[in-house]
Structure 1
Amino acid sequence: MSVMVSVSEAQRTRTSEKYTAHPPEVLPMFVAEMDSVPAEPVREALERAVRDGDTGYVGHTRVLPEVFADFAGRRWGWDVDPDLVRTTTDVSVAAVEVLRRVVEPGDQVVVMPPVYPPFWEYVREAGGTVTEVPLRAPDGDPDPFDTTAGWRIDLDGIARAFAGGARTVLLCNPHNPLGLVHARDDLVALARLAAEWDAVVVSDEIHAPLTHADAAFTPFLTCGPEAVEHGVALTSASKAWNLAGTKCALMVGASERARAWFDGLPVEVVERTGILGYTASVAAFRDGEPWLASLLGELATNRRVLAEELGAALPGAGYRQPQASYLAWIDLRALPWGDGPAVVLLERAAVALSDGRDFGRQGAGHVRLNFGCSEETLREGLTRLASAR
């Protein structure tokens, strides 16, 4: 049984941003939300909580840290200490609150565009200033049957940023919008640079459970003693199990330094965790892997369909299959649509895509397409995109 429903069915019953930001005739393929049905263990856990009236403030319990530690050990061989896990509302709140603990007002924080648009706002909200160190792009024309492995962290650029005063890196691993799973060697080198300059790496790992079979995700905190001492990881079940609205994320440390940062958080940072999000996250990490395996199978099919058919729909489009996530980063600079092709495609094809410019100046002429949908919906999207030529 498919974990996806048709977009028309989702539009009839759902009230989230994906299905209400545009008129119903527009095919929504922008925001990172899937057209999926809930995993059965998650649905049952939420139904039970609502039936029993367990909808109050989140309790003081180690259940989710312990369940996540078990999941991380099974999935990635990552030995997580539940005593060094805290929860909060979502990864955006986690990022801002951790940054507030590790930066002083005006401090430089490195981000690596093209990257998830709120990263700039996280830094500003925490009182820092952004220093951009763009990822190194692959050489040559993209092969749609390659993955995003040609992209790399610019370690020399990070070193220059540290020499210029930066002391924090906001890392996206896997990297949104590219679907890049950073190479372990690069993460180890980043950790060593952080140790050399006494910097901190805050690693957003929300897309990690969505790593595809031809890639291997490396948690930053497993990258040696330097990463342990200088890192914090942020994660959630929200992307992999489509639970963003239930509001729960995890902050994971591996050192006494991280414990001190967590203990210094305002008590409300943890108290604002949604109890339904906590409940759903426990069910997802503990019992949701069979559903996740089915999801990854469907996403792998869609990833391949894009590789096989995007060139016919939009000749000249550049695309590499993502190593993680259900997000495709598409280069449309060869088409005569200027820096903002998402605007053109919305007008001409009634397909809503994310505007590449939102991900940094490197995104001009690009779009991000969400293929977390049924294959039928994806093919409809390709047909509509072809009509825009």
Structure 2
Amino acid sequence: MADFPMSPAAEAGASGPGGNPLRALTLDQLRRRTSSKWRAYPPDVLPLWVAEMDVPLPGPVVRALTEAIALGDTGYATGEEYTRALGGFARRRWGWDGVVPGRTALVPDVMHGVVEMLRLVTDPGDAVVVNPPVYPPFFGALRHAGRRIVEAPLNAAGRIDPTAVEGAFAKAVAGGRRAACLLCSPHNPTGAVHSRAELAAVAEPAAAYGVRMVVDEIHAPLVRPGTRFVPYLSVPGTEGAFALLSASKAWHLAGAKAALAVAGAGAADELARLPSMVGEGASHLGVIAHVAALRHGEPWLDALLAGIDGNRRLLGELLDRYLPDVRYVPPEGTYLAWLDCRALGLGDDPAAVFLERGRVALSSGIPFGTGGAGHVRLNLAASPEVITEAVRRMAKAVG
């Protein structure tokens, strides 16, 4: 963004109060970006697939990065300030005081952190339980790490199924091997924000079977107004679990790599065994950006959440008008919409049809695993105008 002046609308979006960050940049400006979202498809395609947001950075983040560059502050990262910043955010936002020195470790990003936590508590060949349909990199990361995948699919409402979870835990520990569960909270792609009762329904059998919990909470700040995010480590019986958190999704910082692993009170000694080289993979500029977002970016985040919530409602209205056969449950969290397109008769991969005929890029449901066929994931973190045009194109593709 440094190569063109920021418009007044973009400046308002960056500073947060009073402006919707999702309306701050024009489509022409966005197409100048060189990230994956904007380079994977030709210019005539509307990209609503990967989890990047069409927003300018919050003003405090821009200022922090600009100052760091001016100072040449581009060395190696440390995690102390990140821990303090995330701890403060967690207390203010969730009433949780579990992010404290001695129980955190800097990691390059959430998925690298997930793999490192699983290496602490399982061995190659051990089982890891997942809840499909779920974030596709879970599958690739587990296979690359040599772990065996055991599924506990979500129920028909796209939420945790306690019976499936307990059955999967029993299967995972059969033969006396160690096992873990990789939980996505809030859940990607359904957008379910797990309640305290739902999390307890996982924690209790995990303790009973000796299954170690590793929880991806990257979307934790992105919950709709009126919905409360519950940190997994705040639930009784989770002392031996690990959570991975980051500012990357909520403040559009995926390219500024940094995240924190947080241990439950009973797992701090295990986390201390994490090799120091893992934290060295985080970006110092990433840490600077994330700290600025967590400390000073809440007004901007609140404006963003209001914009996303408006898009949730808008998408429902557009689908009712143009694609009434698509089943859509507005997500409680994330900025992702999970659309059941099976009634359209487009086969297992409707995303391919929407791309070819409608020039809209959505995420195919197939890589999300069991329950994903016939579905697409749509990114709501765009302007209302882009969302509207995308649904019109989708309708034309099946008309």
**Counterpart residue type for residue 89 of structure 2:** F
**Counterpart residue type for residue 376 of structure 2:** V
Do residues 163 (structure 1) and 182 (structure 2) align? no
Q: Shift of residue 198 of structure 1?
A: 1.6
C-alpha separation between the residues in 2 aligned to 1:296 and 1:193? 34
C-alpha separation between the residues in 1 aligned to 2:91 and 2:218? 16
Q: Shift of residue 108 of structure 1?
A: 0.7
Residues 7 and 383 of structure 1: CA distance in aligned 2, closer, same or farther (over 3 Å) = farther
Match of 1:73 in 2: 91
Preserved contact between residue 181 and residue 323 of structure 1 (Cα < 8 Å): yes
Match of 2:241 in 1: 231
Preserved contact between residue 258 and residue 282 of structure 2 (Cα < 8 Å): yes
Matches within 5 A, 1:232-247: 232-247=242-257
Q: Deviations over 1:313-358 (max 9, x none)?
A: 2230000000001100000000121111000000111000000111
Preserved contact between residue 106 and residue 282 of structure 2 (Cα < 8 Å): yes
Residues 261 and 121 of structure 1: CA distance in aligned 2, closer, same or farther (over 3 Å) = farther
Preserved contact between residue 128 and residue 172 of structure 2 (Cα < 8 Å): no
Match of 2:140 in 1: 121
Question: Helix, strand or coil: the match of 2:105?
Answer: strand
**Counterpart residue type for residue 105 of structure 2:** R
Q: Deviations over 1:239-296 (max 9, x none)?
A: 000000000011011224x222222212110111100110011001111000000000
Q: Mind listing any 5+ residue stretches in structure 1 that lack a counterpart? A: 139-150
Q: Shift of residue 6 of structure 1?
A: 4.4
Preserved contact between residue 363 and residue 376 of structure 2 (Cα < 8 Å): yes
Question: Helix, strand or coil: the match of 1:310?
Answer: helix
C-alpha separation between the residues in 2 aligned to 1:378 and 1:116? 22
C-alpha separation between the residues in 1 aligned to 2:167 and 2:41? 43
C-alpha separation between the residues in 2 aligned to 1:264 and 1:112? 28
Q: Shift of residue 206 of structure 1?
A: 0.5
Do residues 137 (structure 1) and 159 (structure 2) align? no
C-alpha separation between the residues in 2 aligned to 1:287 and 1:312? 40
C-alpha separation between the residues in 1 aligned to 2:166 and 2:370? 22
Q: Mind listing any 5+ residue stretches in structure 2 that lack a counterpart? A: 1-18, 174-178
Preserved contact between residue 31 and residue 43 of structure 2 (Cα < 8 Å): no
Matches within 5 A, 1:51-130: 51-59=70-78, 62-80=80-98, 81-130=100-149
Matches within 5 A, 1:358-373: 358-373=367-382
Q: TM-score, normalised by structure 2?
A: 0.91
Preserved contact between residue 6 and residue 376 of structure 1 (Cα < 8 Å): no
Preserved contact between residue 219 and residue 333 of structure 2 (Cα < 8 Å): yes
Residues 31 and 7 of structure 1: CA distance in aligned 2, closer, same or farther (over 3 Å) = farther
Matches within 5 A, 1:4-43: 4=22, 5-6=24-25, 8-43=27-62
Q: TM-score, normalised by structure 1?
A: 0.93
**Counterpart residue type for residue 169 of structure 2:** F
C-alpha separation between the residues in 1 aligned to 2:183 and 2:295? 27
Q: Shift of residue 137 of structure 1?
A: 1.3
Question: Helix, strand or coil: the match of 1:164?
Answer: helix
Identity, in percent, stands at 47
**Counterpart residue type for residue 243 of structure 1:** L
May I ask how many residue pairs the two structures share in their alignment?
373
C-alpha separation between the residues in 2 aligned to 1:30 and 1:48? 33
User: Which one of the candidate residues 47, 60, 69 is aligned to 1:50?
Assistant: 69
Preserved contact between residue 153 and residue 370 of structure 2 (Cα < 8 Å): no
C-alpha separation between the residues in 1 aligned to 2:21 and 2:291? 20
Match of 2:213 in 1: 201
Do residues 188 (structure 1) and 200 (structure 2) align? yes
Q: Deviations over 1:159-193 (max 9, x none)?
A: 22222234211000000000000121121121111
User: Which one of the candidate residues 290, 294, 314 is aligned to 2:323?
Assistant: 314
Question: Helix, strand or coil: the match of 1:260?
Answer: helix
Residues 51 and 368 of structure 1: CA distance in aligned 2, closer, same or farther (over 3 Å) = same
Q: Shift of residue 7 of structure 1?
A: 5.7
Question: Helix, strand or coil: the match of 2:181?
Answer: strand
Aligned CA-pair RMSD:
1.3
Preserved contact between residue 7 and residue 373 of structure 1 (Cα < 8 Å): no
Preserved contact between residue 129 and residue 172 of structure 2 (Cα < 8 Å): no
Matches within 5 A, 1:258-269: 258-269=267-278
Residues 152 and 361 of structure 1: CA distance in aligned 2, closer, same or farther (over 3 Å) = closer
Match of 2:161 in 1: 154
**Counterpart residue type for residue 66 of structure 1:** R
Match of 1:304 in 2: 313
C-alpha separation between the residues in 1 aligned to 2:119 and 2:105? 16
C-alpha separation between the residues in 1 aligned to 2:131 and 2:31? 38
C-alpha separation between the residues in 2 aligned to 1:349 and 1:275? 41
Q: Shift of residue 9 of structure 1?
A: 2.8
Do residues 374 (structure 1) and 383 (structure 2) align? yes
Preserved contact between residue 6 and residue 377 of structure 1 (Cα < 8 Å): no
Do residues 178 (structure 1) and 187 (structure 2) align? no
